[in-house]
C-alpha cells in the first residue's frame, strides 16, 4: 500500500493496460483477462486472478497497486434507505469520503476528487481543513470499483460531489470519467456521471469541448455577487455574470441542460425577493435548479429554512418557468455533508 514506485492499475485505460502488458512481454489477451478481473469481478488482489499465470501475477504485484486505500469507517443512516458514508484511508495516510445514496432501486455514489479543497465555501466542511493534494485517476476509479464490489454491480449514478473541486483536478477527473464510462468495463453511462463545480469557468469551457455526454452541475447558492462572495469566495475570481455567461455558452454548445445547485439557508438566501432575483438570472439558460435544505455542519452557523419557506422559493421559480425541485439533504445525521466525516477523523 505504501510503495510510491507502483502504478495505480485502475488509473490505466483499456489501451494503456494493453500497452503495459505488452511492456511485460504479454500477449494482448492477457490484458483483456486482467481488465475483466478488474471491472467485471472487481478483484481486490492479483492473487485472485486464477487464469493469470503465477509468474505474471508476481510481476503485476511488483509494478501495480490494486488497492490504493482501505475503508476505515462506515456510518449508516437508518430510516432513509441505508445511506452510508465510508471513510477511506489512502496509501499516504490521507483520508477522503464516499457516500452511497440509494434511490428507486439504484445507488448513486458520491465520490471525492481531492484530499481537502482550496475553495472554503462557508457551509462546507471539506474546505475548512484546507487542500492537501489531488486524487490520482486510479484512486478515483478505485472508489467506484470499491462501491461496485460492495453493491455487486456498478453504481447507477456517479456524482463528483464529494470532497474537492473536480475542475481543480481536471485531467485526472476526465481520465477517470472515461474509464468509469468504458463500455467494456464498469460501463456507467456518461449521462449517469455528474461533474459538480463551484463555478470554475475554465473547467466549464474545457468540458464543453470534450464531446462527452456527462451532466454538469454548478453550485450557485446566492443570486447576487455580494452574498455569493461571502458564501463562496471563488465568486471573487469568477463572478456571477461571467459564470452564467459561461454556463449559457456551455448549454448552447453542448445542447445539454445544466443543473444549478442552490442550498437554502434560513434568512440568508431564502427570501421571495431572492427567488425572483435567481429566476431573473437563470431565465435564458437551459437549466434546472436543485434546491437543497442546508445540512447543519459544526463549521457554519446557519440553519435550514422551514418547509413552508422552501415551498415558497420553489413555487416562485416555478411561476417564472424555471424547472426547480426541492430536496432535504440526505445523510445529515451521519455527517454526510461533504467533508464532515474526514474532519472528525482528523480530529482524533
Under a CB-based contact definition with an 8 Å cutoff, are residues 107 and 101 in contact? yes
Catalytic residues, which ones?
97, 338
DSSP 47-74: GG-TTS-HHHHHHHHHHEES--EEEEEE
**Of 43, 158, 198, 227, which lies in the binding site for ligand SF4, with binding defined by CB under 6 A?**
198
Residue number, 121 or 317, with CB nearest to ligand SF4 = 121
Residue number, 127 or 310, with CB nearest to ligand SF4 = 127
CA atoms within 13 A on the CB side of 163: 33
Under a CB-based contact definition with an 8 Å cutoff, are residues 320 and 279 in contact? yes
| Residue 338 lies near ligand SF4 (rule: CB under 6 A) | yes
Minimum distance from residue 2 beta carbon to ligand SF4 (Å): 27
Under a CB-based contact definition with an 8 Å cutoff, are residues 274 and 316 in contact? no
**Of 52, 65, 88, 121, which lies in the binding site for ligand SF4, with binding defined by CB under 6 A?**
121
| Residue 266 lies near ligand SF4 (rule: CB under 6 A) | no
Binding map of ligand SF4 across residues 98-117, x = CB under 6 A, - = no contact: -------------------x
**Of 120, 249, 276, 288, which lies in the binding site for ligand SF4, with binding defined by CB under 6 A?**
120
DSSP letter at 269 equals: T
Give 209's strand partners.
Answer: none
CA–CA separation, 224 and 230 (whole Å): 10
Give 99's strand partners.
Answer: 85, 110
Q: Which of residues 134-193 bind ligand SF4 (CB under 6 A)?
A: 163-165
Closest CA to 191 of 179, 181, 206, 176: 181
Closest CA to 164 of 215, 193, 198, 191: 198
| Residue 126 lies near ligand SF4 (rule: CB under 6 A) | yes
Minimum distance from residue 42 beta carbon to ligand SF4 (Å): 27
Minimum distance from residue 101 beta carbon to ligand SF4 (Å): 17
| Residue 199 lies near ligand SF4 (rule: CB under 6 A) | no
Residue number, 26 or 335, with CB nearest to ligand SF4 = 335
**Of 127, 129, 203, 305, which lies in the binding site for ligand SF4, with binding defined by CB under 6 A?**
127
Size of the site for ligand SF4 (CB under 6 A): 12
Residue number, 100 or 119, with CB nearest to ligand SF4 = 119
Closest CA to 121 of 185, 196, 214, 207: 196
List residues binding ligand SF4 (CB under 6 A).
117, 119-121, 124, 126-127, 163-165, 198, 338
Amino acid at each position: 500500500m505504501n510503495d510510491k514506485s507502483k502504478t495505480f492499475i485502475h488509473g490505466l485505460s483499456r489501451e494503456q493496460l494493453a500497452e503495459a502488458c505488452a511492456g511485460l512481454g504479454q500477449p494482448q489477451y492477457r490484458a483483456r483477462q486482467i481488465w475483466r478481473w478488474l471491472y467485471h469481478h472487481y478483484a481486490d488482489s492479483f492473487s485472485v486472478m486464477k487464469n493469470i499465470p503465477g509468474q505474471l501475477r508476481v510481476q503485476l504485484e511488483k509494478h501495480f497497486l490494486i488497492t490504493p486505500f482501505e475503508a476505515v469507517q462506515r456510518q449508516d443512516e437508518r430510516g432513509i434507505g441505508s445511506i452510508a458514508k465510508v471513510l477511506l484511508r489512502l496509501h499516504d495516510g490521507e483520508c477522503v469520503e464516499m457516500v452511497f445514496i440509494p434511490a428507486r432501486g439504484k445507488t448513486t455514489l458520491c465520490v471525492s476528487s481531492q484530499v481537502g479543497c482550496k475553495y472554503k465555501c462557508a457551509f462546507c466542511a471539506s474546505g475548512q481543513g484546507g487542500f492537501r493534494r489531488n486524487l490520482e485517476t486510479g484512486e478515483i476509479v478505485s472508489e467506484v470499483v470499491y462501491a461496485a464490489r460492495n453493491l455487486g454491480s456498478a453504481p447507477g449514478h456517479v456524482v463528483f460531489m464529494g470532497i474537492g473541486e473536480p475542475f481543480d483536478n481536471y485531467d485526472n477527473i476526465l481520465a477517470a470519467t472515461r474509464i468509469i464510462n468504458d463500455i467494456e468495463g464498469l460501463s456507467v453511462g456518461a449521462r449517469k456521471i455528474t461533474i459538480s463545480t463551484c463555478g470554475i469557468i475554465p473547467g466549464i469551457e474545457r468540458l464543453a469541448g470534450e464531446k462527452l455526454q456527462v451532466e454538469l452541475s454548478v453550485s450557485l447558492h446566492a443570486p447576487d455577487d455580494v452574498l455569493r462572495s461571502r458564501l463562496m469566495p471563488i465568486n471573487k475570481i469568477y463572478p456571477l455574470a461571467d459564470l452564467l455567461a459561461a454556463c449559457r455558452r456551455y448549454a448552447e454548445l453542448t445542447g445539454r441542460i445544466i443543473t444549478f445547485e442552490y442550498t437554502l439557508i434560513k434568512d440568508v438566501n431564502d427570501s421571495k425577493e431572492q427567488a425572483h432575483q435567481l429566476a431573473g438570472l437563470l431565465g435564458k439558460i437551459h437549466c434546472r435548479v436543485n434546491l437543497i435544505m442546508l445540512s447543519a455542519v459544526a463549521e457554519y452557523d446557519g440553519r435550514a429554512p422551514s418547509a413552508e419557506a422552501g415551498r415558497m422559493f420553489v413555487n416562485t421559480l416555478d411561476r417564472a418557468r424555471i424547472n426547480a425541485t426541492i430536496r432535504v439533504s440526505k445523510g445529515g445525521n451521519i455527517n454526510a455533508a461533504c467533508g464532515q466525516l474526514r474532519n472528525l477523523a482528523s480530529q482524533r
